[in-house]
Structure 1
Amino acid sequence: MAVGRLDIAGAGFCTGTLVSPTLVLTAAHCLFDKRSGQRINPADIEFLAGWRLGRALAYRTARQAVIHPDYQYGDDSTADRVSADVALIELWQPIRNTAVIPFESGDQPKRGAEVGVVSYAHDRSEAPSLQQVCSVMNRQAGFMIMSCDVDFGSSGAPVFSFAGARPQIVSVVAAKASMDGQSVAIGTAVEHSLKLLRDELSAGRGFGLSSSGSGTNKNIGARFIRP
């Protein structure tokens, strides 16, 4: 199981997914301290691959991390912020286990396409849960709105497309929201971001680099709540 729990500084957790033997994909906001707004030291982050009922298939500490260059941490989840809410964590040691096969990424699905979310949450922190298959309600540049009902702890969870022979990651959960009275999930698209993040790591722009972008608050008809 390449989906795992990210234990962060002993104070909380997010969901992460192995996309190579040494790289874990998650949400950028997971790497910030909620109280101070400062980046969390990667040394305080541990990836528990396939964590279930107190045991993991592999345990790895983080070596470094990189966030999307356009991401700026903040309390409000604007459209610009959500579209860049993605990060990569590099592990100190690769995970080489036949039961933990990294997932590949895919293109952002079309409106109406079926997707699924695998995540940990505050009421199921000891085992991952596959959301009932939900659908893409709307697409925007860099993110999509889905009918999935996610909860706290689902941040960074992979959104899978089932169009191919094997599920592909097409998004990561960035926020939960309410739209027209319905609970929805907001996912950051990864089709272009993942390559960008890999390039950032290859260029030596790991965690600690101050990179931020400016943007405007665009109204997409959803009230955001960070999961």
Structure 2
Amino acid sequence: MRNWLSNRVPQSDSMAKGIKPLLFAALLSSTWLAGPGDAWAIPDRVTVNAMEYPWSAIGKIETSIGHCSGFLISKKHVLTAAHCLYDRERNQWVKPSEVHFTAGYQNHQHTLKSAVKSYKQSKKYKKTRDASVKNTATDWALLELKHPLGKDAGWLALKRLDKALLQDLAEGEAALLHAGYRGDSPHRLKAGFGCEIAGYFKNGIGIAHRCSIMQGDSGSPLLVFADGRIYATGVHVIGASDGRREIAGALSVSIFHPDVGSPRAARILRPAGNIWRESKPPRASRKAEKAPVTTIDLLLGELGYLRGLGKRTSPSKRRNAIQAFLKDTNMTGPARPSVSLLGELVRQLK
């Protein structure tokens, strides 16, 4: 583990080269090979309502070779892992016509589904190499959808995990979380909260953390709640183990930044627009909801502010629970569900 993982805070966001691969496994999409008691099964994730934002911006990618996860970064653009699109048996990339993306997919419901018009990936992706640190920097792909699902699902802005954000995480002012369509639950979106940084790949090219990640999670976002907003700060591409613990590996979105990242990667993402500004909730519609009400109820219950979970929570009961939470934590704000409230609840779970 020490050959690739460092506990030192990255001094820059420059891209690393020549990092030695060690103990990695791809979060491959076709079949989940581990059983409930095997290495990847860590019971610390919960089912969330995928049709509530921000979860609705995350979706399931289905191809001729299996499934992965991905997330919207604009109305029509989805970020995912490149290895989700490479057919190693046929030794070729899958055709765009063989790829479909469903935002907010859950329980076989394809309310927000689109075919893929085209996709682009790094030309330096090593198609013959298994998952490794060396391949991490190129294990990304940008899908262009035929339909602008982001209007009804919302999308996620990108945010670099820089020194300031790392300091906020260390002080509990920010929180890491994630969600994806893991292999043992391919029809339900599952989220994990309170992810802890385990280290960094050389020069900050990748983010290693101790969250429950398994096959099917490839392409899912490493999320960060900061400044009252939700962002994507990494793309999950690999998993690792030293025999005692599991480590998840995410490609830092810094690689897409026009100032510090790969010029070609930044150029490919340019059609998605200003992906660094702020995340966008869905428009008012009867499709995806703008706030994660179900998850907020769950976390309020976990923190002791709601009882009788599993039953329908009345608006007045939820409002009273939120007011009590805000009072106990010396926070102000409206007593209604919001992405900001979700982040504050997640921060209190630590």
TM-score range, shorter chain: 0.7 to 0.9
How many residue pairs align between the two structures? 201
Map 1:23-102 to 2 at 5 A: 23-98=77-152, 100-102=153-155
Asked if the contact 1:155–1:174 (Cα under 8 Å) also holds between the matched residues in 2, the reply is: yes
Q: Which residue does the alignment assign to 1:161?
A: 224
Moved more, 69-78 or 124-133: 69-78
1:199 paired with 2:257, answer: no
Asked if the contact 1:148–1:184 (Cα under 8 Å) also holds between the matched residues in 2, the reply is: yes
Partner letter of residue 43 of structure 1? S
1:117 paired with 2:117, answer: no
1:170 paired with 2:230, answer: no
Identity %: 23
Q: Which residue does the alignment assign to 1:144?
A: 207
Other structure's SS at 2:196 match: strand
1:3 to 54, 58, 73: 58
TM-score by length of 2: 0.54
Structure 1 residues 63 and 89: CA distance shift in structure 2, 3 A = same
Asked if the contact 1:106–1:168 (Cα under 8 Å) also holds between the matched residues in 2, the reply is: yes
Other structure's SS at 1:20 match: coil
TM-score by length of 1: 0.81
Unaligned runs of 5+ in 2: 1-55, 259-263, 272-350
Other structure's SS at 1:150 match: coil
Distance 1:85 1:62 in 2: 19
Shift, 1:194, TM fit? 6.4
Shift, 1:201, TM fit? 6.4
Distance 1:25 1:125 in 2: 19
Partner letter of residue 199 of structure 1? R
Asked if the contact 2:101–2:114 (Cα under 8 Å) also holds between the matched residues in 1, the reply is: yes
Q: Which residue does the alignment assign to 1:186?
A: 249
Distance 1:180 1:164 in 2: 37
Unaligned runs of 5+ in 1: 204-227
In angstroms, what is the RMSD of aligned CA positions? 2.1
Moved more, 29-38 or 107-116: 107-116
Q: Which has the higher helix share?
A: 2
Moved more, 43-52 or 55-64: 55-64
Shift, 1:151, TM fit? 1.0
Distance 2:119 2:160 in 1: 23
Distance 1:37 1:127 in 2: 30
Partner letter of residue 126 of structure 1? H
Distance 1:180 1:163 in 2: 33
Partner letter of residue 74 of structure 1? T
Asked if the contact 2:58–2:71 (Cα under 8 Å) also holds between the matched residues in 1, the reply is: yes
Shift, 1:176, TM fit? 1.2
Structure 1 residues 132 and 200: CA distance shift in structure 2, 3 A = closer
Partner letter of residue 92 of structure 1? K
Asked if the contact 1:88–1:197 (Cα under 8 Å) also holds between the matched residues in 2, the reply is: no
